Structure 1
Amino acid sequence: MRQLFATPLYEGALGDDALLAELAHSIRSLAADDRAGQRWAREHHYRGYTSYASLDDLPRRDPVIGELARKLQRHAAGFAKDLGWTVRPRLDSLWVNLLKGGGHHGGHIHPHSILSGTLYVEVPADGGAIRFEDPRLPLMMAAPLRSPDAPEPLQPFVTLAPVAGQILLWESWLRHEVLPGRAKADRLSISFNFA
């Protein structure tokens, strides 16, 4: 069998526990102080806090996040090379997330970007998996159901339980969602887009 039209998912590791601890402190500080982000989360029924719509200068505002941005740039450049791209991705936006137990994000894509991703800073057990959707799904009008033990590339959805320090990158057109977690502890992450 020949595989066509792959949908690559980059999995990397930050590899810096001290930086992870500093990032966790930064996320909690921002969640406590950013009134605009708190208001946005409330108005959009986001269970927790996100700086998504409130702070667009985090790498300049916080040196710890600035250090992370430099590391993410290297991961994105390597992934772009693996994808055979002739462009070097540029970090376009970055935001922090503090998701409370039971919180989730509905399925979405990231328009106007070429790569998107997340660094998982703190992830409690059962803290909410990320699920990716086969981009061909809307075109499969009469496709039969797949066997639960079919190979991963043939599944309509792939679910990953992230771990602290893990970096995931994907092409921004890939639809994804965060499933509701059952943990009581907060799930801390930093999401980003490259243009």
Structure 2
Amino acid sequence: MERIRTILAAFFIISTVFIAGCSDNSGNKAQSEQQNGQITTNDQAKNEKESSDKKNIKQVKATVYFPDENGQKLIASDRTLNTEVDDKYLAAVKVLLQGPKKGEGIAVIPKQAKLLAVSVDKNGIASVNFDNALVKNFSGGSTGEIMLVGSVTDTLTNFPEVKAVRFLVDGKPLATLSGHLDLTEPVKRMKNIL
């Protein structure tokens, strides 16, 4: 009888250890699944936030300026700039190159002109670099020159961090477009034609 009790006691101890081990594993499994679910949820929320932030960065609202048909003033046009590839400065000048929508004025930058770069330094001076086609194909007189320079300058200085605009052709400073405006110094906002 003593032997049966010993066997039963040993069986009871082994069963208890086995059951305790199984329930501990299922508890760990449940806890692990809960943690994995939480990690998945946290990762998903993080990815959604990053995606939302990227969408916000890709589009910027800005005002660009085109000359009116009489060449007397600039017409403001609100645009949404796609900044997925270009920064907002380059994107804004590209809008000027594309030209105005109906009723927004006229295009003043020669269609043949290529925009090479736009950069803004720590002093708030934007440098706009066109290829030589800007000068070669510009056919306007003094009014056209004022409107072109004003269109680019007032578009870029509408960004609060930009204080003035320097014009370059093929990376070299442009002294004048057609002999009417001195462009040797950066041009400040031209409020008189707004």
TM-score (norm: length of structure 1): 0.30
Question: More relative contact order in 1 or in 2 (CA 8 Å, sep 6+)?
Answer: 1
Task: Give the number of the structure whose alpha-carbon radius of gyration is greater.
Answer: 2
TM-score, normalised with respect to structure 2? 0.30
Q: Would you tell me which structure has more helix in proportion to its own residues?
A: 2
Comparing both structures, which one devotes a greater share of its residues to strand?
Answer: 1
